[in-house]
Amino acid sequence: MSGGGRRDLRERVEKLVEPLLAHEGYELVDLEIAGVGPGTVVRLFIDKEGGVSLDDCASVSEAVDAMLDVEDPFDASYTLEVSSPGLDRPLRKAADYERFAGKKAKIKTFGPLESAGGRKVFTGTLVGRDADAVRIDVDGTVYAVPDERIAKAHLVFEFEPKRKPGK
C-alpha cells in the first residue's frame, strides 16, 4: 500500500472511530496502522477525563472491533490494540496545546528554526498557541514554533519528589 493509500486508510478509520468514541465519552488521542495484509496492526490511543482503565480499553476494543467488522475498511484481517496514551501523551491536535498549557512538554521540529537560533528541540512549559504556532517557555524564553514545523510533540511527565515522614 502506498503512503497516500495508508494515509487515506488512516483518515477513513479515524472518521469511523472518533464519533463512536466521543459518544462513549472518550477522546481519540492517536491512531496508528502498522504492517500490511493479515499482519496489519491498528493501535488506538484513547483518553478520558480522569484517565483510562483496563476495563475502558477492553470496552472500547470490543465496540470498535464490532464496528470495523461491519464497515470492513481493511483488505485482510488485522489486530486491534487499544491503550491509554501513557504518561508522555502525544500532542497532536491544536486544542491539545491549549488544554495542556502550564504542563511540561517536548517539541521536536523538522530541521532547525532560524527564529530560535537554530534550535530543533524545545523542552519547557507549554504557554498555549497562536493562530499558526505553539508557544513554549524554555528556561524563561518563550518560543513560537510554527505548526507546520512540528515533527513530534508530547508531554513530559514530572515525578513528584517523595517526602520522607517527619521532614
Regions of the chain with pLDDT less than 70: 1-5, 166-167
Torsion of CA 47, 50, 52, 54, to 10 degrees: -170
pLDDT at 167: 57
Residue type, 142: V
Q: How far apart are CA 63 and CA 11, in angstroms?
A: 19
Domains for the chain: give ranges and CATH numbers.
Answer: 3-83 (3.30.300.70), 94-155 (2.30.30.100)
Label residue 23 exposed, middle or buried (CB < 10 Å: 0-12, 13-18, 19+).
exposed
Residue 97 to residue 34: CA distance in whole angstroms = 27
Give the C-alpha separation, 126 to 136, whole Å.
4
- Supply the pLDDT for residue 35: 81
How far, in Å, CA of 105 to CA of 99, rounded? 12
In this predicted structure, what is the pLDDT of residue 104? 95
CA dist 34 and 37 (Å) reads 10
The pTM (predicted TM-score) of the whole model is: 0.73
